[in-house]
Amino acid sequence: MGWEEERIVIVDDRANRWNNELGIIVTAHHGQRVFMKACLESLQGLGWILVVYDNPQDRYEINMLDSYHYQLIDQFCMKHPTKEVPGPTYPQFWNYRNGIDLMIGRNCKYIFTIGADSVLERPEGIWEVAELLGDGDIISCSTKNPTRHKEAFCGTKSFLVKTQAFKAIVDYLQELYVPWKNVGNMEVRFGRAIRDLKINEVIVPELPLEDQFAHSYDKEGNCINRGTWGALLGYRHLAGENKIRKVNKIKPVEEKYFDKKYIQPKELQHLEKYWETKDWAHVENWWKT
């Protein structure tokens, strides 16, 4: 019997995902773990999932992910500590740098990015977004709106981009801004890269009313005016909503999206009572925390 007849075929599902058309980069830090499980669950089945994690710099024993997070992803990367530069822009750059460096070896055509504090309620819409992108290079959840953006702008809360275009953008950012210079936030930097490199940006048919996806609600307390990303992907910025809902005295984010382990105890006591009893008085107590 020749070796061809004796060969055993082993199917490695994760290896198959590695070759899928779509790669997903989830940018995350330890403060987003309250919504991270919901985020990762919403991405299941779409493609290879890579989490790029901000280095917590201390207390690693309590600031890293839990085992169930790792079970929902295909790959994990943590950047180096960046405490020398304050603010979120520098860590975000290194998350993108590490993310594209790991993804570039794949055969994927597209990379989709999302923050770990957001969720897709209609993940199958990603292929409709890809249709909108067509022959373009990048399509973002929001782009320059003359009524609120004076500079170049590309919303980085979530975007779909061709792999080679993403690498070109990140290479450009590194060449110009490392060592880091105080030149705008990441949205401005992305906008400049797209402009200067002549990246073919496709504008979403409907821009969100605001770039944080958290400030507009209907009378029932549902987040609205989320543009194309909301319509096609059911995109929600849960951390933003959680903050704004409390400030504006609106009902809390749905129970199913919270990882209760990471809710502050003073908030959890009121939220759990509300979810159990539906007594609105507990929501009013939550507003005060």
pLDDT digits (tens, 9 = 90+) for 143-177: 988 888 888 999 999 999 999 999 999 999 999 88
Query: Do residues 35 and 116 make contact, with C-beta atoms less than 8 angstroms apart?
Result: yes
Cα separation of 187 and 153, whole Å?
A: 5
- Amino acid at the residue 172: Y
Query: Do residues 132 and 48 make contact, with C-beta atoms less than 8 angstroms apart?
Result: no
Using omega within 30 degrees of 0 as the cis cutoff, is the peptide bond preceding 179 cis?
Answer: yes
Alpha helices per DSSP H over 43-125:
60-63, 67-70, 89-103
Domain boundaries, the chain: 7-202, 263-289
Cα separation of 80 and 217, whole Å?
A: 39
Instruction: Identify the sign of the CA torsion 131, 48, 63, 188.
Output: negative
| pLDDT exceeds cutoff 70 at 6 | no
CA 175: distance to chain centroid? 24
| pLDDT exceeds cutoff 50 at 128 | yes
Q: Which of 83, 33, 84, 91 is nearest to 58 (CA)?
A: 83
pLDDT digits (tens, 9 = 90+) for 53-110: 999 988 999 999 999 999 999 999 999 999 888 888 999 999 999 999 999 988 899 9
State the fold for domain 7-202. Spore Coat Polysaccharide Biosynthesis Protein SpsA; Chain A (3.90.550)
Q: For the chain, give the percent of residues with pLDDT over 70.
A: 98
Cα separation of 152 and 195, whole Å?
A: 8
Tokens of 148: 């609120």
Alpha helices per DSSP H over 178-279:
186-197, 227-233, 238-247, 265-277
Half-sphere exposure of 97 (CA within 13 A, CB side): 18
Bridge partner residues of 110 (DSSP): 22, 162
| pLDDT exceeds cutoff 50 at 1 | no
Buried b (16+ CB within 10 A) or exposed e, 186-203: bbbbbbbbbeeeebebbe
Across the chain, mean pLDDT equals 93
Query: Do residues 123 and 46 make contact, with C-beta atoms less than 8 angstroms apart?
Result: yes
Residue 142: DSSP 8-state: -
Categorize the per-residue pLDDT at 135 as very low, low, confident or very high, splitting at 50, 70 and 90.
very high
Query: Do residues 226 and 208 make contact, with C-beta atoms less than 8 angstroms apart?
Result: yes
